[in-house]
């Protein structure tokens, strides 16, 4: 998200939106960080917090977040942009296949109301950009935990990529 915001920071139509799920005890720090970026770039900032709790499912968290983003986009007559990248597509396809998806499950992120300007970039591409421009970002510590299916898939894919590199 930090890279996407940096790339779009001079667009006069950009507003920054952050949804705090209230799942992690330190999630308010993420909101403060994003608000600070919006101030740094002199962009309007909107946020909302829910108290979904640590037992909240990924699906419910996502639905609640997108409800906020859609409501805000409607109010502002704007579009939603997310920082999903190529690795997110692979993760989502893997999750959907594990769940026994149909063809729609292997074609994720095709919602006409949401733009994905980083979709052709890999996670390493995004890290290189952040390093080049000395961008600081916050990492959700739960991303390394295997509590959620997405994290288990992400961590398994990362291990496989490291193994592939090692064997090459």
Where on the phi/psi map is residue 37: left (φ > 0), alpha (ψ -120 to 50), or beta? alpha
For residue 139, the model assigns a pLDDT of 77
Q: Check pLDDT > 60 for residue 71.
A: yes
- Per residue in 78-102, is it b (16+ CB within 10 Å) or e — as a string? eeebbbbbbbbbbbbbbbbeeeeee
Chain segment 140-166, per-residue pLDDT in tens? 665 566 666 656 766 666 666 555 545
| Contact call for residues 117 and 4 (beta carbons, < 8 A) | yes
pLDDT tens string 1-17? 999 999 999 999 999 99
- Mean residue pLDDT of the chain comes to 84
Whole-model pTM: value is: 0.78
Over the range 14-42, which residues count as b (16 or more CB within 10 Å of their CB) and which as e?
bebbbbbbbbeeebeebbeebeebbeeee
Handedness of CA 52, 53, 56, 59 (dihedral sign): positive
Q: How many CB atoms lie within 10 A of CB 76?
A: 13
Residue pair 95/156 in contact (Cβ under 8 Å)? The answer is: no
């Amino acid at each position: 998200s930090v890279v996407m915001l940096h790339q779009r920071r001079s667009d006069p139509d950009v507003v920054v939106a952050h949804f705090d799920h209230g799942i992690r005890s330190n999630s308010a720090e993420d909101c403060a960080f994003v608000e600070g970026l919006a101030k740094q770039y002199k962009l309007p900032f909107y946020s909302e917090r829910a108290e979904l709790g640590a037992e909240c499912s990924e699906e419910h968290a996502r639905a609640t977040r997108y409800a906020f983003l859609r409501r805000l986009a409607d109010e502002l007559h704007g579009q939603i942009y997310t920082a999903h990248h190529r690795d997110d597509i692979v993760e989502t396809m893997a999750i959907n296949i594990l769940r026994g998806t149909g063809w729609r499950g292997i074609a994720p992120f095709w919602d006409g109301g949401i733009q994905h300007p980083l979709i052709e970039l890999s996670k390493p591409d995004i890290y290189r950009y952040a390093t080049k421009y000395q961008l600081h970002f916050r990492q959700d510590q739960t991303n390394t935990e295997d509590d959620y299916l997405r994290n288990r898939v992400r961590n398994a894919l990362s291990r496989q990529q490291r193994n592939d590199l090692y064997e090459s």
